[in-house]
Structure 1
Amino acid sequence: MMKFKLLLWMLTKLLQRAVNNNPKCAAYVKDKNVTFQIQTASGEGRYFEVKNGKIKSHTGRSKSPSFTFTFKNGSTGFTVLSAKDSVNTFLTALRTQDLVITGNFVDVMWFQSLVDFIQPQPKSSSTV
């Protein structure tokens, strides 16, 4: 469970860094106002607030998140969120119900695009 909690905390820091260092990311969140949470089936996790161009997270649960990712347990959440083949792992978790998504799917898709800002960019090969 500790790895899962640490990963969620790190997600906040990575998103904040992307907003601060990438003008495209800053523009992407500028006018967005959304609260979402990522948790386990037992309720452990964090909720995230995107408001006024800033991203914050808090322990516990939000009273009214726009959407919620609920993982079967912390280990599963850590595995899915840190997977190198993230899309396939994410879809498999949905299919097997190791991950259940509830809420506004338009905001879920918005979040998926936000996460793209923290993905490592492929190095361009240069010819000499």
Structure 2
Amino acid sequence: MKPLKQPVWYLRGLALLGVAVSVGSCFSNRQNEGATLYASHCSNCHGAQGEGLKRLIPPLAGADYLTKNRNGLACLVRKGLQGPLIVNGVDYNQVMPAADSHLTDSQITNILNFVQTSWGNQGEIFTIREVTEQLRACGASDGQ
């Protein structure tokens, strides 16, 4: 029986396709992590569409607070917030619970990036390094 001869380019193409598929699947589990984390940790208060709750809980959709306070957002998520704040000209004064023990630096980065790019928001994307530096500055980095 005569062995089949395949052109070298065909075999290389198949190998490249196999690598591309396997690499793509490595990232698919984390691709929507920000949306998943937001849904499970944030949407109960801030709403599924970031709309907030009337004058009780501030919106995240179209919120000027996100750009005005970018350098403190990671610490706000990790440590929570007590006291007044103004979002889009509206005063809010409810307690936001801390995420001290159940979200890593990486997960906070993914949540912030989801918020920055959802509901019409066009904020600058956070890097994990930027979030970790913010968290170190407020004594809240877990290094993960």
TM-score using structure 1 length: 0.30
Higher strand share: 1
Higher helix share: 2
Tell which structure's C-alpha radius of gyration is larger.
2
